[in-house]
Amino acid sequence: MDAPERRNIPELDGIRGLAILLVFLTHFIAIELPEHGVAVDNAVRWVARFGWSGVDLFFVLSGFLITGILLDTKGQPNYWRNYAARRCLRIFPLYYGALVLVIIVLPAATHWGYPPLATLREHQAWYWTYTVNFLEVIKGRAAAPLNTSHFWSLCIEEQFYLLWPLVVLFSSPRAILRIAAGACLFGVAFRWWIVRAPLDPASAYVLTPGRLDGLMIGAALAVQRRAGGLERLRPLAIRVVAVGAALVIGIALWRGMEYEDPVMAVAGFPLIALTFGAFLVLGLTSPGPLSRFLSLGPLRSWGKYSYGLYLIHYPLIGVLDLKLAPRLAGLAWHGSQLPVVVVFCAVGVPLCYGVAWLSYHLYEKRFLALKRHFA
């Protein structure tokens, strides 16, 4: 997932790196392990299910960084042009390049009649317009084939990028805080309505009104940064991280770490967002072990390539599920699929990193260099 680049704050790349590694935890481990396996597999899968919250950490980061940029440039010449140009140069080349490759080039080059590819082409308008999250609600997750269902989060971010500059432009910092608080409350009410209505509970997870918590908490922290810095929030942030993490773990022990669960959707989402917001405060204000950890080179490199990693990793997992996973079946040991998953990760994770690295340095970087014209 993308977030604006602030290279003078290394901890931000480290936090992005944590976010993408959390996502990998779910997609490479939790999804690959059977739901009702042996005890050790069930335990590992239970822990790995926490990984879907990495998307929430991305949302907090996006709300914080985008709002900060908009506040810092508010009132300056070319406010709209520079913001829009820089966002487009960061996001569109890789996203639309991937769509051109899969929807246009691949079928034309191979004359491939693979049914999921036909489904993707049939629904391609939703992809070009960043509305895959609505597609999944209207027609189900199967309508986003070839492991592209995770595009829902990219759509939420793009919808946020489109509308939020208007809010910041016409609102005072105090008004932004009120709007953020109101949006969080609206999100809770919206999810409560979803889980009580005859709708797929997953709708609360992929529709923008239900995922405002992290974005708005990040936005509120950006306002606080300008108002007086984040340091004054550090004592509170320590308590929020401790209490929030304990409550989320409690819900997971009670109900399971499934985002479709009504309790998780209504109460868990805001708790996760608050916890990650507090973690962001600590990451940016606490010198010492946490800062050094977030500034580690390997972790920052995962953050640097996190957008490409997020976009391409799930389709690559789909390819590996078809080509590699059947060959690993014999590695199961006493009923445990963990050896299979370990080898699957040993092949898949470096592959994803390598593809993202190549994409960044051979392709995306050419467009990022143009951002200097829109400083």
- Out of 104-118, 133-147, 193-207, 310-324, pick the least confident: 104-118
Mean pLDDT of 125-153: 94
What radius of gyration do the chain's Cα atoms show?
Answer: 21
Q: Which of 232, 211, 179 is nearest to 276 (CA)?
A: 211
Burial class of residue 357 (count of CB atoms within 10 Å of its CB; 0-12, 13-18, 19+)? middle
> Over 70: is that where the pLDDT of 248 sits?
yes
pLDDT classification of 3: cutoffs 50, 70, 90: very low
Per-residue pLDDT, averaged over 214-230, amounts to 94
Residue 322 pLDDT greater than 70, yes or no: yes
Q: Determine the length of the chain.
A: 375
User: Is the predicted pLDDT of residue 111 greater than 70, yes or no?
Assistant: no
User: Region 187-202: what's the mean pLDDT?
Assistant: 89
What is the model's pTM?
0.94
Residue 367 has pLDDT above 50, yes or no: yes
- Whether 108 has a pLDDT exceeding 90, the answer reads no
CB of 348 closer than 8 Å to CB of 320: yes
pLDDT band at 250 (very low <50, low <70, confident <90, very high): very high
Residue 47 has pLDDT above 60, yes or no: yes
Task: In whole angstroms, give the CA distance from residue 328 to residue 336.
Answer: 13
User: Which residue has better confidence, 154 or 109?
Assistant: 154
Mean residue pLDDT of the chain comes to 92
Confidence at 110, pLDDT banded by 50, 70, 90: low
Q: Distance between CA 149 and CA 329 in Å, rounded?
A: 26
